[in-house]
Amino acid sequence: MEAFNYLPNKKNLTILFLVSLIIKLIVFVGFIVQKERYKQPDSMDYHHCAMALTSGRGMYRLDNNRPMFWRTPGYPLYLSWFYGFFGIKSLNFSDNNKAQITSIVVQIIINSLLTILIFFLAFTLTKSLAISWVTAWISTFHPGFILTSTYLLTEGLALFFIIPYFLFFYKSFGKNWIKNIVLAAIFLGIFTWIRPMGQFVSIASIMIILILDKTNWKTKFKKITLFFLLFLSLISGWYIRNYKITDRCFFCPMFGLYLNTFNAPKIIRETTGITLRESIKQQYYKANKIAKQEYLIAKAKGKDLATELVHLKAALPVVLQHPFIFIKDWMKETAKTTFDLYSSQIVEFAKNTFHYDPPEEFLTEKIAECLYKQKMSPLARCIVYIELIFEILKWIGLLAGAFLFLIYPIFKKFNVSNDIKQTGLMWIKISPIIAAFLVMTGGFGYARLRLPVESLMIILSLTFWYWILKKNSIK
Q: What value, to the nearest 5°, has the Cα angle with vertex 156 and ends 148 and 464?
A: 75
Across 222-244, average pLDDT: 96
3-state secondary structure of 258: helix
Which pLDDT tens digit goes with each residue over 39-75? 998 999 999 999 999 999 899 988 888 899 989 999 9
For residue range 170-184, what is the model confidence (pLDDT) as tens digits? 999 988 899 999 999
* Percentage with pLDDT > 70 across the chain: 99
User: Residues of the chain with pLDDT > 90: what percent?
Assistant: 84
For 381-410, the pLDDT digits (tens) are: 999 999 999 999 999 999 999 999 999 999
Q: What is the DSSP string of 181-217?
A: HHHHHHHHHHHHHH-TTHHHHHHHHHHHHHHH--S-H
Task: To the nearest 10°, report the CA torsion of 421, 423, 424, 429.
Answer: 130
b (16+ CB within 10 A) / e for 349-388: bbeeebeebeeeeebeebbebbeeebebeeebbebbeebe
Residue 113: strand, helix, or coil? coil
What pLDDT band is residue 6 in, cutting at 50, 70 and 90? confident
Cα separation, 175 vs 187, whole angstroms: 19
In terms of pLDDT, which residue wins out, 465 or 475? 465
How far is Cα 450 from Cα 338, in angstroms, rounded to an integer? 7
pLDDT in tens, 182-212: 999 999 999 999 999 999 999 999 999 999 9
In this predicted structure, what is the pLDDT of residue 343?
Answer: 92
For the chain, the domains span: 157-247, 254-321
d(CA 170, CA 427): 12
pLDDT value for 1 = 64
Cβ partners under 8 Å of residue 96, min gap 6: 47, 51, 83, 86, 88, 89, 90
Best CA proximity match to 108, nearest among 66, 179, 157, 54: 157
